[in-house]
């Protein structure tokens, strides 16, 4: 194997509208354990939603996101990636997928992209064959059929190596073990797939 193929990737993980919480930090540690450099920008400047039931958490999450404001969220996101390599892999949890959607057109050289609990459109101009994955709960109201179709259509148009993974029986935020949505099997399969995406991205950056 070419030595450069073993060079670590840089990955940035964008958190959900619940704020930067243990689920994102644990994911970052998992990826670091596999040899990657991982950044977890706090787009809410320390604010998080309390653990008092999923319905109330969703309400509080939307309220927190609105209070901070999308312009501020994106200003912080752009500042967080400003000094990262152009080929930094983009990863996002729920709201973080929306952040990727706004950021990606300015970072077309991303070596790979993974979208958790939501989808976005794939911009034209990315390198052909860029590995992209979307992971959603089957029937999730936050990932409706029209958005899934838009993701797949845009990925094909852009020439991405894109896949859509849907998990029957899982809740929206199924990767978070602190929530009733959690599905351990779906979570395990998700991170196995993401490991494969990162392996592919690492191979491509070594060519």
- Domain positions in the chain: 10-206
Please check whether residue 50 is in contact with residue 60, taking contact to mean a CB–CB distance below 8 angstroms. Answer: yes
Please state the rounded mean pLDDT for residues 28-39.
97
Give the pLDDT score at 179.
87
Q: Which of 2-16, 74-88, 146-160, 163-177 has the lowest mean pLDDT?
A: 2-16
Residues 6+ apart with CB under 8 A from 73: 43, 44, 65, 99
DSSP class of residue 84? S
Mean pLDDT, rounded, for 175-198: 95
Strands 113-116 and 89-93: parallel
Tell whether the model's pLDDT for residue 52 goes beyond 60. no
Residues 6+ apart with CB under 8 A from 3: none
What does the alpha-carbon distance between residue 99 and residue 91 come to, in Å, rounded to a whole number? 10
Segment 155-179 mean pLDDT: 96
Q: What is the mean pLDDT of the chain?
A: 93
Q: Is the pLDDT of residue 180 over 50?
A: yes
Indicate whether 105 pLDDT > 50: yes
In the chain, the N- to C-terminal Cα span, in Å, equals: 11
pLDDT of 57 reads: 79
User: 120 with 104: CB under 8 angstroms?
Assistant: yes
Would you say residue 55 has pLDDT above 80? no
Q: Using a pLDDT cut of 70, give the percent of the chain over it.
A: 94
Above 70 in pLDDT, residue 188? yes
- Strand pairing report for 89-93 and 10-14: parallel
Q: Report the pLDDT averaged over residues 179-197.
A: 96
Could you give the CA distance from residue 114 to residue 196 in angstroms, rounded to a whole number? 11
Q: What is the pLDDT of residue 56?
A: 61
Domain 10-206 has CATH 3.40.50.1820: yes
* 44: pLDDT strictly greater than 70: yes
Read off the pLDDT band of 91 (50, 70, 90).
Answer: very high
């Amino acid at each position: 194997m070419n030595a450069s193929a073993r060079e670590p990737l840089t990955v940035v993980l964008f958190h959900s509208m619940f704020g930067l919480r243990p689920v994102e930090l644990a994911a970052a540690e998992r990826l670091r354990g596999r040899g990657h450099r991982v950044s977890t920008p706090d787009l809410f400047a320390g604010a998080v939603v309390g653990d008092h039931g999923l319905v109330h958490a969703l309400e509080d999450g939307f309220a927190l996101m609105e209070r901070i404001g999308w312009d501020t969220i994106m200003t912080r996101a752009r500042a967080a990636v400003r000094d990262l390599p152009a080929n930094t892999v983009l990863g996002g949890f729920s709201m973080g997928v929306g952040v990727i959607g706004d950021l990606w057109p300015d970072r077309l050289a991303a070596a790979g992209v993974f979208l958790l609990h939501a989808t976005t459109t794939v911009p034209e101009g990315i390198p052909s064959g860029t590995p992209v994955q979307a992971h959603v709960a089957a029937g999730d109201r936050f990932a409706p059929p029209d958005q899934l179709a838009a993701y797949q259509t845009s990925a094909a148009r852009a020439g991405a190596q894109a896949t859509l993974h849907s998990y029957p029986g899982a809740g929206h935020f199924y990767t978070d073990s602190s929530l009733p949505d959690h599905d351990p099997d779906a979570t395990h399969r998700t991170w196995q797939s993401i490991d494969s995406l990162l392996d592919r991205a690492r191979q491509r950056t070594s060519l």
